[in-house]
Structure 1
């Protein structure tokens, strides 16, 4: 194949005498050229060239993304093998485990759950994502629909949103009364204390993203037909109600982060790091014998922090915001 620059410089065959001795502008900038023995429009060749370059760039990006995904998957694999060993320990000792996944919309809860359970024995774990309560459930004790999903001995139950929906989403959108909210906040501590006292391993995870990252993920969901199903009416209001969700998160941490059932905050702007460190947190909650003791089981402190530390950060932000509102005008 000829070089496009060389092709562009070729002259279309013709009788030079008809042109005269002065320079021929059409010959120097031809509308048509000879390409592979055929006469074609130069503009068509240039358009094809641009399309090929664009496709090449896109293929490179896809290849880089695929390679990055492969490397990340390989990094998770030894820890996922540890999860299988941990699961076997729970089965052999008939221990129960509940993992609560809470956080803002598009914070990466679902993707993390898929990575945690990917290689586990399906007969010994369940993922629970309860929808809107039925008319019958609305007349029941609030915790009853969740208790019905609790694990038996040797089983893990992962709640993709949990009873804390009452303290978060329901509170923000007014889907519960003030009395229902207060009753929940008064009772949840004792409820979880009984769970732990009776031998259930309870892990409470809150996934946290920045407002900018949440907006980017929502935009991607809107434009990607494979992700549009993830968008809900609540999601579409999440950005507008950002400060409201911050307030209820603060109240929830302040009143439900207990010594018996503490919150663990996962910074999830980087999805892969959030997934890896979540697995480490889960593994560290069970005294099983390590499959590979040489692995690094220490969570990254930039990704994982205690609920108490998160409260300190939030209180500092509230103080800075208050000072800014009351600063004198100059």
Structure 2
């Protein structure tokens, strides 16, 4: 049979089997969509061996967005490009064993008479070196400091991230180390973005009891923050956001739909300070307010004008230092 006749026969079959054709087309599209979201979930939660990190969607050209949609993001394994020594701060490197075979790298900056022990947790796609400027501020406030690399980041083992879920165990182990290193001193946990989520998770599910917590831009629900990623790309989130959370959960053996910091927050009864950027496009002010409202203890919310999803200290160091110093003073007075 010639090619034109074969095409004619195929077209005739399609016209006479419309429902079956539509069902096959839908099935094929559904399968391709699952493959696509599986790959994107993998790329967003597994660190690559190298290459340049994918830039923010707001900075992409149309061609750049199309390429990312096709191939997924590139998330190089976060490295520590600086150490406290670069700020003339003495430190020692420690390692923590976490259940599941994970080993965390920690920088310890001791103090002869610390007012408190502050433990700092970095955000998504970052390492502890990103918090060195905040570390210097806490040192100026006469605190001992622990800087922690989450699993997969910096000097810790692993190559994946779960956006604060399994990192909750990392935060809990670090808190216990802090209590051991500074007995009798209040332990204050500081986290940015994913780091703040890990703190809430550790309190709710690991049973730690810090003296106080300082959180920057915590998201309220994992599904919500994934939806924001699609919005930043100029795309509707349904159903891809739901499928991405589903496949990410399958890949990491967790229920991503139940990873909701707004629910963890109800377990927090210690003093809490939340700082958030007014123009944050990754986590809305309303979402942070929901987390704040759920906190059960003494609490304070500070919205930083003109700040996005970034370091509040880097963009408004004066406002950051003022809020943190006053909060720490209250915590240390109450702990005496």
**Normalised by the size of structure 2, how large is the TM-score?**
0.31
Q: Which has the larger radius of gyration?
A: 1
Higher helix residue share: 1
Bigger RCO (CA 8 Å, 6+ sep): 1
**Normalised by the size of structure 1, how large is the TM-score?**
0.32
